[in-house]
Amino acid sequence: MNAQDKDKVEADFITINDVAVPLIFEESKNLPIGNLQLVFVGGSADGEIAGLGAMSANMLNEGTKGLGNVGFAQKLESKAISLQASVGLQTLSLSLSYLKEFEHNAFEFLGMLLDDPNLTMESLEKIKMLSLSKLARAQSDFDDVAQKNLNKILFKGTPLAIPLIGDKQSIESIRLEDIEAFLKRNLVLNRLIIVAGGDMQEEKLKKELTTLLEHLPKGEAKARLHFEASRDADSIVIQKPTEQAFIYFGAPFDVGDKEKNYMAKVMGFILGASGFGSRILEEVRVKRGLAYSASMRINVSGSANYASGYLQTKLESKDEAIKVVKEVVNDFITNGAKDEELQAAKAFLLGSEPLLEETLASRLSAKFVNYFQGLPLDNRKRELALIKDLSLEALNAYIKSHKEVLQMSFAIVEATSPN
């Protein structure tokens, strides 16, 4: 591994058609492989129809119009190349991985997909059928149902309240022209961030990417979006044929100075993200036996900052479990953490966090997330140093300043009432 690349704190840039495209790069000769990700800022939040982003990404996975889905897949398989499109709330991504000996072929196939995606009515009808089938299956996944309902409460009126896949009506309404317009708007240089790594040289890669991508239009840039969680505590309770209760809960979390996000990580770890030993699991399951599982974490992703958690309980334990969660959170926000909890959190985070960047893929992913949030690429290293020196006094002052976490909303799936 090139230590200089690993320790870069800012992205490089590659100029394509007079557009400065950010490049996050790390050279690694551990294995003769390459990984390239084209990330276009926009994603599902850029679609005027629910599910349009997800369906557009799925259409890109249908190969090229010239070769068709099967023919294009056979081309990739013959060279052990993986090429996959995916969508998130704010990104549309094309991920390419390959053996070094087939790098030329990999870039060639990526270019073919960008030039000639299989945007046909046949592919669209296939994707619609698969999407509707997935949507139907999700109705019996009660964790998924509760999570979606919580999002409806916390992020009402925003793209976060809408499932990436959309709903039955929106899926059926999507036309081929909608997908063409979405891809035309998103697959542009002014929205592009390139993430690359492996057994490759940066300058050579820049030249190859310039040739590969120079045909893309410049397009219009897309600003990063941020959504606030609702401060109005609310609840949604629905009934399903279940023998246990599924309880998802959440609350706003005010980041303020994002340089202090490392304290949110410690706070969340102690409160409910550390499994056994966390406040919530100890009180709800270990001491009282009220839940099969229980957790709570602090999310500071950049798109939205909020606290969230879940419980799975016996039906008859539902109300008491919710009561205990509220009591635990209230005590934690009011009185803070204990020194032994802080030391345990430090020991775990300082020991485990470096392991999260052992692989090239995990390091590149972490760097991209940091870049997307406007942080140094090596932000995790900076956070670990701050966690090591964190005092109980500073942590508790931080915890006690977040009284907004007490404004909890709940989404519950419980048993169907007997007739």
Place of tokens 């966690």: 387
What is the pTM for the complete model shown?
Answer: 0.92
Q: pLDDT at position 1, please?
A: 40
What mean pLDDT value characterizes the chain? 93
Helix axes 261-268, 392-400, angle to 10 degrees: 90
Q: What is the pLDDT of residues 321-364, one digit of tens each?
A: 999 999 999 999 999 999 999 999 999 999 987 777 778 999 99
Phi, psi (rounded to 5 degrees) for 290: -95, -10
Q: pLDDT at position 307, please?
A: 97
Domains and CATH numbers, the chain: 12-213 (3.30.830.10), 227-415 (3.30.830.10)
Judge contact between 397 and 136, C-beta under 8 A. Answer: no
Tokens of 129: 């059928």
The SS3 assignment for 234 reads: coil
> What is the DSSP-derived secondary structure letter of residue 190?
G
150-154's contacts with Cβ under 8 Å and 24+ in sequence apart are 150/236, 150/248, 150/249, 150/250, 150/308, 150/409, 150/410, 150/411, 152/236, 152/411, 153/230, 153/234, 153/235, 153/236, 153/250, 153/409, 153/411, 154/229, 154/230, 154/250, 154/252, 154/306, 154/409
Low-confidence ranges of the chain (pLDDT < 70): 1-8, 418-419
Judge contact between 120 and 177, C-beta under 8 A. Answer: no
Q: pLDDT at position 3, please?
A: 42
Q: How many residues does the chain have?
A: 419
Bridge partners, residue 415, by sequence? 240
| Residue whose C-alpha is closest to residue 38's, from 227, 255, 201, 183 | 183
Burial (CB < 10 A; 0-12, 13-18, 19+), residue 388, is: exposed
Q: pLDDT at position 309, please?
A: 96
**b/e per residue, 298-310, with b = 16+ CB within 10 A?**
bbbebbbbbbbbb
Q: pLDDT at position 418, please?
A: 60
Q: pLDDT at position 2, please?
A: 45
Q: pLDDT at position 7, please?
A: 56
Judge contact between 311 and 325, C-beta under 8 A. Answer: yes
